[in-house]
Amino acid sequence: MRLLVGLGNPGKDYRLNRHNIGFMALDVIAGRYRFSSWRNRFQGETADGEVDGVKVIALKPGTYMNRSGQAVGEAAHFYKIAPSDVIVVYDEIELAPGKVKVKQGGGSAGHNGIKSIDAHIGNDYWRVRLGVGHPGNKDRVADHVLENFAKADVAWLRPLLDSVADAIPLMIGGAENKFMTKVALLMNPPAPKPKKPDPEAESNT
């Protein structure tokens, strides 16, 4: 069993914020794999389903970002899910928009949601970091993540969410590097190879 967590802030005022890309990703994944309807549990919302035969509990904490660990800890304890079977999807300002990186453990890099989860279950869980770009000035970071995505961001945001959903079976199945590779290829497909000339066709001209 896997606990798949998306980070964000609850309520319609935050729905389209950069900080809520984790919620957005979970909504697409839950729809793609026909999870159950969302319901209120563990100080948040959960939906459950299967991805390639693996039971998955999707969780969107409703505690606001800086207390996300309360909901994650409650759900992990209830289902007896080890931190290494927890996957957290969230925004990363140090990555360019549309880029994805995966790692297990490590520091919080100042992300309040990650700090909170570390405090409740330790840091041995998997992090799927979705790039939202840096505002260029550290004093602008708080405003940047709490601003809505710009209209121009739609060009990469929707493909990113779809690519993460397409590749999530690899992440669920423990093939983390393949997950990153597949997302990168889906976001930047290789150019088609030029067709080789047909000698037979040429001989008839």
Q: Identify any residues that bridge with 48 across adjacent strands, giving them in sequence order.
A: 57
Active site residue 19: yes
Strand-pair category, 100-104 with 86-92: unpaired
Exposed/middle/buried for residue 31 (C-beta within 10 Å: 0-12, 13-18, 19+): exposed
**19, 77, 120, 144: the active-site residue:** 19
**DSSP conformation letters of 136-200:** SSGGGHHHHHTSBPPGGGHHHHHHHHHHHHHHHHHHHTT-HHHHHHHHHHHHSPPPPPPPPP-HH
If you ran DSSP here, which 8-state letter would residue 96 be given? -
Strands 44-51 and 39-41, bridge-based pairing = antiparallel
Query: How far apart are alpha carbons 192 and 23 in whole angstroms?
Result: 34
Q: Is 66 helix (H, G, I), strand (E, B) or coil?
A: helix
| 126-140: b (≥16 Cβ within 10 Å) or e | bbbbbbbbbbeeeee
Supply the residues annotated as catalytic. Answer: 19
